[in-house]
Amino acid sequence: MKAWVINNFGIDELSLEDRRVPAIGESEVLVKFHAASINFRDLMVVEGTYNPKMKLPAVPFSDGAGEVVEVGSSVTKWKAGDRVMPIFAQLWFDGDPNAEIRKSSLGAGSSWEGTLREFGAFNESGLVAIPSHLSYQEAATLPCAALTAWHSLVASGDVKPGETVVTLGTGGVSVFALQFAKAAGARVIATSSSEEKLERLRELGADETINYREREDWDKAILEITGGRGADHVIEVGGSGTLPRSINATRFGGHIAMIGALTGAASFNPTSVFMKAVRVQGIYVGHRRMFEEMARAIEVNQLRPVVDSTFGFGDVKAALHHMKDGKHFGKVAFDFDRN
Ligand SMILES: NC(=O)c1ccc[n+]([C@@H]2O[C@H](COP(=O)([O-])OP(=O)(O)OC[C@H]3O[C@@H](n4cnc5c(N)ncnc54)[C@H](OP(=O)(O)O)[C@@H]3O)[C@@H](O)[C@H]2O)c1
């Protein structure tokens, strides 16, 4: 089988190699991958900024979708032909994460190889069924970005109809958060650096949009829109560069899902966190039970992930450069059957 392998860091250093199709143990299933998708983390992994001490060689990417082609003798959960997605952290089924669980995340250089390969062997407990209305490419966007948004808003945020949710930018996590917030009956204030993307956010249901390049004090804009009260939830993907404004834009007792670090350093004064009694909750993707609940909600609501573009298996480098340029809206996916 073919697999993309990191031997040295850098997008253009990735190499396409021949590997043996993995043999399965009695409690494992063999998955033929038909699709994958990129997360910001994958870009960092490939470039060596996620963990410069990562063990190489490594097969990158956490997210994929495929078909069960063989099952071990004790497997009861799956049969050949089932359409599945591997869970992000293969040992996280419920409850809080821990160091061992974190090491079981796919595609970051541990013994848990990533999804950028034609076949993978997974324990039967490490997979979730694909919602029936989704293509493999759409399903491949769910394990990390969608689950992170779901965890932030639903599992941690307990979002209620009528509440106000702020999303930052138009990357994978933020666009899923917009979709889940609208499905939950919330009002969404979404930001982007591009007028064209703001228009697409409105088409997806965003109630208010703010260009954060033109309106650098976007936190004040959110306070104006909410009549001075502030938002109930902020989906914080920017990190230290956006957090002070996110806190300012949040209501007293509101919730900030602390997810990402897309921006560089900025000073951070924690005073407003306690003076406003804001709940800042660190989010690490999500466990299998959350994933199953999210997949059910996606199916019931017939939600479709926003796939910005789809590349062939051979076009991994072009796809990563596209992602790095930041021109995408939503998710960048791969169709392995294309070439
Ligand atoms: N904690 C977790 O479990 C977890 C899981 C998934 C992702 N993450 C993290 O969450 C972050 C987002 O991930 P992603 O996969 O959604 O990334 P992505 O798809 O690469 O998102 C990139 C987009 O973010 C927006 N952005 C960049 N700088 C911004 C700023 N200063 N203010 C507002 N928006 C800004 C831009 O949107 P516009 O072009 O519209 O301006 C850009 O297109 C990353 O840091 C990632 O590592 C964490």
Written in H, E and C, the secondary structure of 125-175 is HHEEECCCCCCHHHHCCHHHHHHHHHHHHHHHCCCCCCCEEEECCCCHHHH
Residue 272 is assigned to a structural domain of this protein:
yes
Whole-number Å distance, alpha carbon 299 to ligand 1 midpoint, is 25
Residue 15 is assigned to a structural domain of this protein:
yes
Residue 295 is assigned to a structural domain of this protein:
no
Ligand 1 neighbour 198 (Cβ under 6 A): no
Residue 58 is assigned to a structural domain of this protein:
yes
Among 262, 291, 328, say which to mutate for ligand 1: greatest number of ligand atoms within 8 Å of CB: 262
Of the candidates 169, 149, 158, 191, the residue with the CA atom closest to the CA atom of residue 283: 149
Same domain as 113, residue 8? yes
The whole-model pTM stands at: 0.98
Tell me how many domains the chain contains: 2
Same domain as 91, residue 8? yes
- Residue 110 above 80 pLDDT? no
Q: What angle do CA 202, 208, 209 make, to 5 degrees?
A: 70
Ligand 1 neighbour 190 (Cβ under 6 A): no
Residue 292 is assigned to a structural domain of this protein:
no
Residue 225 is assigned to a structural domain of this protein:
yes
Same domain as 174, residue 276? yes
Residue 91 is assigned to a structural domain of this protein:
yes
Same domain as 175, residue 80? no
Whole-number Å distance, alpha carbon 322 to ligand 1 midpoint, is 14
Same domain as 106, residue 166? no
Confidence of residue 29 (pLDDT cuts 50, 70, 90): very high
Ligand 1 neighbour 168 (Cβ under 6 A): yes
Give per-residue pLDDT as tens, 269-289: 889 999 999 999 999 999 999
Give per-residue pLDDT as tens, 208-257: 999 999 999 999 999 999 999 999 999 999 999 999 999 999 999 999 99
- Residue 58 above 70 pLDDT? yes
- Which domain does 244 fall in, by range? 146-282
Residue 311 is assigned to a structural domain of this protein:
yes
Same domain as 97, residue 84? yes
Alpha helix ranges (H) inside 276-332: 288-300, 316-325
Give per-residue pLDDT as tens, 290-325: 999 999 999 999 999 999 999 999 999 999 999 999
Ligand 1 neighbour 261 (Cβ under 6 A): yes
Ligand 1 neighbour 191 (Cβ under 6 A): yes
We report the CATH number of the domain holding residue 133 as 3.90.180.10
Same domain as 230, residue 203? yes
- Residue 21 above 90 pLDDT? yes
Whole-number Å distance, alpha carbon 238 to ligand 1 midpoint, is 6
Whole-number Å distance, alpha carbon 50 to ligand 1 midpoint, is 15
We report the CATH number of the domain holding residue 215 as 3.40.50.720
Whole-number Å distance, alpha carbon 270 to ligand 1 midpoint, is 23
Same domain as 112, residue 187? no
